[in-house]
Homo-oligomer: A and B are copies of this chain.
């Protein structure tokens, strides 16, 4: 697990590097599918002093397997997503400024251009509000459940992020690095969409055939972007 701890640590440290977090407002996890174990950031430990060995190891039911700290309070949200979607390798939660603003606005981040379509197939959805009972109960688990409810049977790697109503963004990917990458993209397209809608409130969604082209150029079976 040492290697995965290092990866998760590095991915957590990338969040302040990319300007996605203030203080400790973020966390990254990754899963080892063979062993069924998840490595996640400890709760409320400052980035300035955090080390790779501080990462916490839990099983998919949330039992602590290794680590001297308590895991992130958002751990049950991460675990619900790993249990439901077997292709997820890493998950990120932040309160990045512009993506969080869309969450507060209660709106999906609309697909307006190719920057968005290079990574996200369609809008980045906003969940419904949790009910009072869901918040009073197992809140973090229920946050995971409302994400699952919103995504449904969508391939989560084709919609590698979501905004939770009045809360903020979660993103994911095939591993921790990819999940952070998608968190950066999400914040950037959230900013672009805010500005674009301000410039022209009557703008249109990206043409469907242009979205298909850009997404499949990078992600489809016939992808031709980058090096083989």
Taking Cβ atoms with an 8 Å cutoff, the residues of A that contact B are: 22-23, 25, 42-45, 69-70, 73, 95, 97-98, 100-107, 112-115, 129-130, 132, 135-136, 139, 166-168, 181, 184-185, 188, 191-200, 203-204, 206-207, 209-210, 213, 217, 224-228
User: Judging by beta carbons under 8 Å apart, are A199 and B197 in contact?
Assistant: yes
Task: Find out whether the CB atom of A135 lies under 8 angstroms from the CB atom of B194.
Answer: no
CB-based contact B227/A44 at 8 Å: yes
Cβ–Cβ < 8 Å partners of A194 in chain B: 195, 198-199
Per assembly, the copies of the chain total 4
* Alpha-carbon gap, A124 to B42, bound state (A): 30
A192: chain B residues within 8 A (beta carbon): 97, 100-101, 104
Q: What B residues does A213 contact at CB under 8 A?
A: 135-136, 139
Residues in chain B near residue A139, CB distance under 8 A: 213, 217
| A69, A100, A191, A217, most chain B CB atoms within 10 A | A100
Whether the pair A203, B112 counts as a contact (CB closer than 8 A) is no
A115 touching B73, Cβ below 8 Å: no
| A112 surroundings in chain B (CB, below 8 A) | 104, 166
Q: Shortest Cβ distance from A70 into chain B, in angstroms? A: 6
Verify A188–B97 contact, CB threshold 8 A: yes
Bound-state CA distance A115–B104 (Å) is 10
Provide the bound-state CA to CA distance between A100 and B194, in Å: 12
What's the Cα separation between A207 and B70 when bound, in Å?
28
User: Is the Cβ of A193 less than 8 Å from the Cβ of B104?
Assistant: yes
Whether the Cβ atoms of B22 and A184 lie closer than 8 Å is yes
Chain B contacts for A195, CB-based, 8 A: 97-98, 101, 194
| 19 residue pairs A–B, Cβ–Cβ below 8 Å | A23-B184, A44-B226, A73-B217, A73-B224, A73-B225, A97-B188, A98-B195, A100-B115, A101-B196, A101-B199, A102-B199, A104-B192, A104-B203, A106-B200, A129-B210, A132-B207, A135-B209, A166-B206, A194-B199
